[in-house]
Structure 1
């Protein structure tokens, strides 16, 4: 290729063109190695959008110009297809697969998506799921490993990298993390972390392995400390009479009112309009008929248990006396 005189961006344009032309065009149907063509059969002045957006670094460009040496406006002729494989010793020989995970449905994955995308991993190569690390089988992580092994089998000269935002996205159990790192190494895969105590490519030999095991153990300890602090907080709150969960719809005062008025012959339907929910999302509204009946059923069970227990004890005493 010959640079155009007077065009300071010609080298960049030619590089863009090379990358774009490695893709087939979904609009005009040209094969890799050729510029796009217009409806009249000439070489198009710009590459069609659906084609250059397949190149990650050009995906947000509004247009990509066809270089002058491709002959824009001239009769279109097929070019030479590019080689299928890139050199194994170049930076483009790295193939990355991203994995994002959070523990609960209330947490968001977008920050991990943004970090992985900024690292050059397209969204269709990022596997994600909302699942706890306590779950040993994580379907999307297994899918990411399967995809990585398949890529490695078809392109053994490439370095296939599993990229996560931080170590805790993979797990917080030291033994599990170490075994996972060994599994990746055994299959010729590489682990990469973008943040945390060990950012960068994981080195499975020498000091790298020791550091990984150390920080994996630290992550497990951190998780246990958080768990213990949470349990201690819940226990302290319970001793003060504070319990988690939603407040009851039918309070003790409301239940007492229902029992007293039912004893004089009123129905639940007649009592309901006079009951007001004091707290929660439905504060100020009347409880449902079903909520009142559930409260009554729970009350009956509570009252029946002491009576049944007393009857059982009486039966046991009579049986022992008869002996």
Structure 2
């Protein structure tokens, strides 16, 4: 198991290096020049050249990347071009809000998808299955930005029961107020994953219900609901662990849009403002941070899958000669 984790960590580090190179490359090859943010018209040619030299733009791409990567490993992503403050503290201040929203959306998706998928699989080809499947198809088809705007119009503009933006009301920091602000963005962000999870749970449930252990349990007179939730559910959820890691990308990218629509004070809105102001250090840090979240999520999913699935764990031990 230790060798398996070490192998996964090595792969993770390689991917992180590639992500860092990509993060640097999209800015390096972007149109325009970073030095234009510092150079003024009244500067002489010597002063302009000094600015480029101070920014390291007189060096090759690999030299610039190496210098940036060294600082990034130490947590230094440079200084924001928009507000002249260090990038890393700004991201770390916004990151908890994004993780909070992503975690709540993921938890909501699982809480709803597991029972709905199990029931749909157990009631295959009935009206219940068709109804739940229709919900999942709608969830996969509805654009998140459109749903977010629709929720704002209905619950804020029409019913006046939910706030349309922000994380807290003015002068309030209570948990209840935060939850109230989180309801609409959480629903919007979780809908796509909810639909995918339902389809996977349903398909796995249909397959598991044809296994011999289910037939044996039924022959012993075990109630169907007990079989479904005590036996089938355990085997059904194994592929969901891997799916969780794969869907981290949609959560990271989705939070970018959802945070902007609902004014959620996370790294998504910070990155959106950075793009609007051509704040290259902030954009590079956001891409790197998003990539790290995605890669680490997949790594955790792989390890958890190996831990909970005896077949995978046995295969790892056999490969290690145990």
Alignment TM-score, normalising by the size of structure 1? 0.22
Tell me the TM-score normalised to structure 2 length: 0.23
Higher helix share: 2
Q: If each structure's strand is expressed as a fraction of its own residues, which one has the higher value?
A: 1
